[in-house]
Amino acid sequence: MVSPVDQKLAGPHGPVAIYRYRLSRADALAYFELSRELTGWEKFQYVIAIFAAGMLIGVLPTDWTPLAWWSAAAGIVFLTIVLALGWMNFRIRRQAAALSLPVGDVTLEEWGDHLSERAASGDRFIAYEMIGQVIETPGRVFVRVDDTPLIVPAAAFADLADMTAFARRIDELSSRSQA
């Protein structure tokens, strides 16, 4: 949403729109919780976990009753799943904590050929051709740019329609500039 003060700034030679917001660690965590394809290293870690569970099941005594053996095997599989999910959660939280977020109040200016993010921690210029992906969720718009995403919370927009229009516009401008 462009406020009346911002509308004056966004004249014919100014930004198309100006958004103001603050970010928190919850925003970084939401970014890393987005579904994505696992990396090769992550897949390898899960294969090792499955291998370890199989090895443990393989060394269970064969003289146990079938109920005891299957119960122990199910327990090992269950423990492996719990540990894998715990490791995934730990990894996601560690990545979110390490993400460098803009400090304090953030001003995002949308220009015809780029986005400009200004905060107390510094300024960032994002040309549309640098954008890898635009993801809209109910609470945020994520713009994947190199290693540091641009995160715009829903509070920056007048309403959901404004947020959706922003996401679609940036996605289209990004696609056009890369063609």
Cβ-Cβ contacts under 8 Å for 43 (sequence gap 6 or more): none
Separation of alpha carbons 172 and 107, rounded Å:
22
| Residues lower than pLDDT 70 in the chain | 1-12, 179
Domain 4-23+105-178 CATH assignment equals 3.40.50.800: no
Residue environment code for 55-94, b if the CB has 16+ CB neighbours within 10 A, otherwise e: ebbeeeeeeeeeeeeeeebeebeeebeeeeeeeeeeeeee
- Please calculate the CA angle 102-103-108 and round it to the nearest 5 degrees: 50
Q: Where are the beta strands (DSSP E) in the chain?
A: 17-22, 105-110, 114-119, 122-127, 131-136, 140-145, 150-153
Radius of gyration of the chain (CA): 23
The pTM of the full predicted model, rounded to 2 decimals, is: 0.77
Q: Taking the domains of the chain in order of start, what are their residue ranges?
A: 4-23+105-178, 40-98
Tokens of 7: 């509308």
* pLDDT for res 7: 42
* pLDDT for res 36: 80
* pLDDT for res 12: 58
Residues 20 and 105 sit within 8 Å (Cβ to Cβ): yes
Residues 136 and 121 sit within 8 Å (Cβ to Cβ): no
Q: Summarize pLDDT for 36-53 with one digit per residue, the tens.
A: 888 899 899 999 999 999
